[in-house]
Amino acid sequence: MRSSIKHPESNRTLLSGRGRKGFVMMMVMAFVLLMSMAVLSFSVMIKNDMTLIARAKTGQQARNLAEAGIYHSLAKLRNSGIPSRADFSGSLDTGTYEVTYVAVGGRILVTSKGTVGGTGVSRTVSAELTGTRVPPALTKMFAGGSNIKARATVEGSSITVVGDIHANRDVELRALGGGVVDIQGDVDAVGIVREGAKHDEPDELDDNVFINGINNDEAPVGEGVRRIAFPVFDYAKYEQQVRNTADHYSGNHTFNNANLTPSKGFIYVEGRATIRGDTSIKGGIVADEITIHGTLTQTPHSGAIYPTRNFILAKSGEISIFDGIDVSEAIVYARTDIRTRAAGTNVKINGIILAETGDMSFWNVQTNVEYTYQLTYPSDLDLDFDYDDGEGTPDEGVRIVNWTR
DSSP string, 338-385: EEE-STT-EEEEEEEEEESSS-EEE-STT-EEEEEE-----TTB-TT-
* pLDDT score, position 142: 78
State whether 95 and 144 are in the same domain: no
Indicate if 245 and 124 belong to the same structural domain. Answer: no
73 with 116, same domain: the answer is yes
| Same domain for 141 and 113 | no
> Is residue 318 included in any domain, yes or no?
yes
Q: What is the pLDDT of residue 295?
A: 96
Check whether residue 327 and residue 209 sit in a common domain: yes
Confidence bin at 306 (pLDDT 50/70/90): very low
- The DSSP H or E segment spanning 375 is none
Which amino acid belongs to residue 245? T
On the question of pLDDT at 65 being above 50, the answer is yes
Residue of 405 and 126 predicted with greater confidence: 126
Is 6 within the bounds of a domain? Answer: no
Q: Do 215 and 208 meet the contact criterion of CB atoms below 8 Å apart?
A: yes
Indicate whether 7 belongs to any domain: no
The H-assigned helical ranges of 81-151 are: none
190 shares a domain with 267: yes
Q: Based on the number of CB atoms within 10 Å of its own CB, is 42 exposed (0-12), middle (13-18) or buried (19 or more)?
A: exposed
Q: What is the mean pLDDT of residues 248-269?
A: 95
Q: What is the pLDDT of residues 348-401, one digit of tens each?
A: 999 899 999 999 999 988 899 999 988 776 655 544 333 444 444 444 456 677
Alpha carbons 244 and 239: distance in angstroms, whole number: 10
Q: What is the pLDDT of residues 196-231, one digit of tens each?
A: 999 988 899 989 999 999 999 999 999 999 888 788
Does one domain contain both 160 and 287?
A: yes
| Residue 53: pLDDT band with limits 50, 70, 90 | low
Last residue of a domain, one of 130, 149, 178: 130
Distance CA 215, CA 175 (A): 11
Choose the final residue of a domain: 93, 108, 130: 130
d(CA 370, CA 328): 12
Spatial contact of 229 and 395, defined as CB atoms under 8 Å apart:
yes
383 falls within a domain = no
User: Other CB atoms closer than 10 Å to residue 304's CB: what's the count?
Assistant: 5
Residue 206 C-beta-side C-alpha neighbours within 13 Å: 22
Q: How confident is the model at residue 128 (pLDDT cuts 50, 70, 90)?
A: confident
What is the share, in percent, of the chain residues with pLDDT greater than 90?
Answer: 51
Q: Select the more confidently predicted residue: 144 or 17.
A: 144
Q: How many domains does the chain have?
A: 2
Average pLDDT, the chain: 83
Host domain of residue 47: 16-130
Determine contact, residues 155/180, Cβ cutoff 8 Å. no
369 vs 364: CA distance, rounded Å: 11
Residue 1 lies in a domain: no
In a domain, 11, yes or no: no
Task: State the pLDDT at residue 385.
Answer: 38
Question: What is the H or E stretch that residue 154 is in?
Answer: none
Is residue 226 assigned to a domain? yes
Which pLDDT value is given to residue 390? 44
Same structural domain, 104 and 171: no
- The rounded distance, in Å, linking the Cα atoms of 139 and 164 is 8
Q: 171 and 80 in one domain?
A: no
Final residue belonging to a domain, choices 81, 102, 130: 130
Q: Say yes or no: 117 and 149 in one domain.
A: no
Closest CA to 86 of 304, 323, 267: 304
Q: Check whether 325 has a pLDDT greater than 90.
A: yes
Helix, coil or strand: residue 348: strand
Is the residue at 398 inside a domain? no
Q: How confident is the model at residue 317 (pLDDT cuts 50, 70, 90)?
A: very high
- CA angle, corner 297, sides to 295 and 303, nearest 5? 155
d(CA 358, CA 393): 22
Domain identity same for 196 and 318: yes
- Same domain flag for 369 and 347: yes
